[in-house]
Structure 1
């Protein structure tokens, strides 16, 4: 695997790749993937949701990594279907969200496949119906996590967090 990420390291990429293939952490990877960076944003750049939508619209098999400001925590989600941003819900049973913190991780697969991906034009990228939602305020980009359509809560509480930087990669089989 080859990935040029400012946020996540190769051991975590291997874990996420196993989750995409529905493997256990102890299983051996048999597929090889390329990770193509589609979008990068940082708190220094300013965040523009419309630019993210322009780049990610109609892109499938994407993985998002989100670094939280003043924390070592990383959030993310996998979307195997196309992003639409047309105020609809994307239907899939294969999407999931996750968090990494202090060498611990939480994987949460979608339970209600009818509401797996929220294609709201007002959010950045949104998994479930608020399970992991990236959105822009006047001053910053934030996320909130609330268990609604996924198996597990990926954060201890429903607080909103300021984003330091995030990346969206498209995953392609090698």
Structure 2
């Protein structure tokens, strides 16, 4: 059996297993695994900050309708951004390898390859949208919740940079010839000439009002691709498989257990 398994083990995505699954379904067969592989797996579950071994396959990226329609953002990025938004303490920088957190829908408002790269189109499609920022022309937008970020590789998060706003009165800037602008320099995307129908030609990141720089250089860059999303909290609907008469006979403790069970089933079925 061990010889047969050796040809299959490299196809098993161990990092997709929960700690409970690992304990119940992998640990009993540890003698069939190479000692080094088992020790690496064990470390990954005991040490949340251990870096995944290159020989261990990470979970496949899944496409889930109704969450994100993007050529840039995958579900792991959407999950991590959602954690940042909800200020969830991320104890492990590799949490994305095991558990997706997707309480929001990322509704696509603009895609550069389809809609173009002009300030005019940016403001036409993105201004005055619920859960986006809009301000008077030439005015600063104030918020303490703004953050910017960068990923050098969208399939590997170990080089991610998250930068929160420090000067919240200069968190955002609105102008008709600008695209997205954070911090008055931290992310600048605009056109040099006073013509909002021209493509963005002034793009750079220079740390000013956010805590960290998100690029290694302050040089200008060209946009190859960009997307803008409206982020919407998803509503949760659960069909309770019990009639009301049966539910009335439950005590409060039983109802709580029922609710917890249904909630757990919903999370699994997602």
Normalising by structure 2, we get a TM-score of: 0.52
CA distance in 2, matches of 1:85, 1:10: 34
Contact 2:188 2:204 in 1 (8 A): yes
CA distance in 2, matches of 1:142, 1:162: 8
Tell me whether 1:172 sits opposite 2:172 in the alignment.
no
Equivalent residue number for residue 35 of structure 1: 106
CA distance in 2, matches of 1:48, 1:40: 11
Equivalent residue number for residue 128 of structure 2: 58
Equivalent residue number for residue 161 of structure 1: 221
CA distance in 1, matches of 2:228, 2:199: 21
Instruction: Indicate the structure whose relative CO is greater, using CA pairs within 8 Å and at least 6 residues apart.
Output: 1
Q: Which runs of 5+ in 2 are unaligned?
A: 1-63, 193-197, 235-270
Equivalent residue number for residue 46 of structure 2: none
SS at match of 1:127: coil
Equivalent residue number for residue 96 of structure 1: 147
CA distance in 2, matches of 1:151, 1:60: 27
Q: Considering only aligned residues, what root-mean-square deviation do their CA atoms show, in Å?
A: 2.3
Q: Which runs of 5+ in 1 are unaligned?
A: 63-81
CA distance in 2, matches of 1:139, 1:86: 19
CA distance in 2, matches of 1:164, 1:57: 22
Displacement after TM superposition at 1:135 (Å): 1.9
Displacement after TM superposition at 1:122 (Å): 2.1
Structure number having the greater strand percentage: 1
CA distance in 1, matches of 2:171, 2:227: 20
Equivalent residue number for residue 150 of structure 1: 210
Displacement after TM superposition at 1:121 (Å): 2.1
CA distance in 1, matches of 2:177, 2:118: 11
Equivalent residue number for residue 12 of structure 1: 77
Contact 2:166 2:209 in 1 (8 A): yes
- Matched length: 154
Displacement after TM superposition at 1:158 (Å): 0.6
CA distance in 1, matches of 2:184, 2:130: 19
Pair 1:31–1:3, CA change in 2 (3 A):
closer
CA distance in 1, matches of 2:68, 2:161: 22
Structure number having the greater helix percentage: 2
Tell me whether 1:115 sits opposite 2:170 in the alignment.
yes
Deviation per CA, 1:6-39, whole angstroms, max 9, x where unpaired? 1121111111111111123347776611111111
Displacement after TM superposition at 1:60 (Å): 4.5
Q: Which moved more, 1:29-38 or 1:154-163?
A: 29-38
Contact 1:99 1:154 in 2 (8 A): yes
